A and B are shown apart, each in its own frame.
Chain A
Amino acid sequence: MTEQGAGLGAGRDTGLQPERTAMAWQRTALGLGGVSALLVHDAESRIALATPGVVGLAGALALLLLVERRYEHTIRQVTSGGTPMGPRLVRWTAWGTVLLSVAAVAVVLGVAATPQ
């Protein structure tokens, strides 16, 4: 049980904090994807209005991939006694969400202005 391989096993937190944090990131990425998909759906066939949602979906996918890297980084830091603190992805996620909300306002207003 102590040998878990790949150098990611030693001294693991029994509270599974890195795992819980990684899954919180994944849920957030899924949430971003969900709102983005909703915006694409809202825009229907208006190509310009669908753009923010498509960009958001791409961002959510990128976040899912980055989260995997962040999880491995966290494990490495924790096992070597370092800090897993990383402000960059936190900042990007926050500002991305702010941007998505501004885009959502534009999409809702745009849809209302161009009835199909």
Chain B
Amino acid sequence: MRRSESVASSGSADRLPLSEVGEAPDYRFTLANERTFLAWVRTALALMAAGVALVQYGPGPALVRHALGLLMILLGGVLAGVSYRHWERTERAMRVGADLPRSPIPRLVAGVLTLAAAVALALTVVEMAGS
């Protein structure tokens, strides 16, 4: 099932429909890939929900709340799109027995979340000190 010299890197194989590339891997791998995709979509949805909540109930001036909230909602949208692409590339790699693709998303999510949390914390502290 596993071919080390894969045809995936030849470029033309990237454009074939998934079902015509290589051969189906162990179904458990396919399902695991699907669940990973779904986990990322739920992360995207959680970011969107947090963004909407931040705008409504967050600390600080309205402009900052909106900027931060909208950033999180948009990151959620980007994440959903990127996670589909990642699912597709992973499935393709598994079908030809190539190495699984690396993903930039964990780093991106961690970065934006750290930023959002730091700003929200700072705003909360400032607000508490002021009242």
Chain B residues with CB below 8 A from A91, complex form: 84
- In the complex with contacts A35-B48, A35-B49, A104-B27 CB distance below 8 A: no
The number of residue pairs between A and B whose CB atoms lie closer than 8 Å in the complex comes to 120
A104 in contact with B31 (CB, 8 Å): no
B28 in contact with A17 (CB, 8 Å): yes
In Å, the complex CA distance between A105 and B77 comes to: 10
Interface residues of A: mostly helix, strand, loop or mixed? helix
A17 in contact with B31 (CB, 8 Å): yes
Chain B residues with CB below 8 A from A107, complex form: 52
B80 in contact with A17 (CB, 8 Å): no
Is A7 an interface residue when CB atoms closer than 8 A count as contact? no
Chain B residues with CB below 8 A from A85, complex form: 18-19, 24, 30, 91
A105 in contact with B74 (CB, 8 Å): yes
* Chain A interface residue bracket vs B: 35 or more
- In the complex with contacts A27-B42, A84-B30, A90-B87, A108-B52 CB distance below 8 A: yes
Chain B residues with CB below 8 A from A112, complex form: 55, 62, 66
A108 in contact with B70 (CB, 8 Å): yes
- In the complex with contacts A85-B18, A94-B80, A105-B49 CB distance below 8 A: no
Is A5 an interface residue when CB atoms closer than 8 A count as contact? no
Chain B residues with CB below 8 A from A74, complex form: 31
| Number of B interface residues in the complex (CB < 8 A) | 41
In Å, the complex CA distance between A38 and B49 comes to: 7
Q: List 18 A-B contacts (CB under 8 A).
A: A18-B31, A21-B35, A21-B38, A31-B45, A35-B49, A38-B52, A87-B18, A90-B34, A93-B38, A93-B41, A95-B80, A97-B45, A101-B74, A101-B76, A104-B52, A104-B76, A108-B73, A112-B62
Show the binding face of B for A, using Cβ within 8 Å. 18-19, 24-25, 27-28, 30-32, 34-35, 37-39, 41-42, 44-46, 48-49, 51-53, 55-56, 62, 66, 69-70, 73-74, 76-77, 80-81, 83-84, 87-88, 91
Show the binding face of A for B, using Cβ within 8 Å. 13, 15, 17-18, 20-21, 24-25, 27-28, 31-32, 34-35, 38-39, 42, 74, 77-78, 82-85, 87, 90-91, 93-95, 97-98, 100-102, 104-105, 107-109, 112
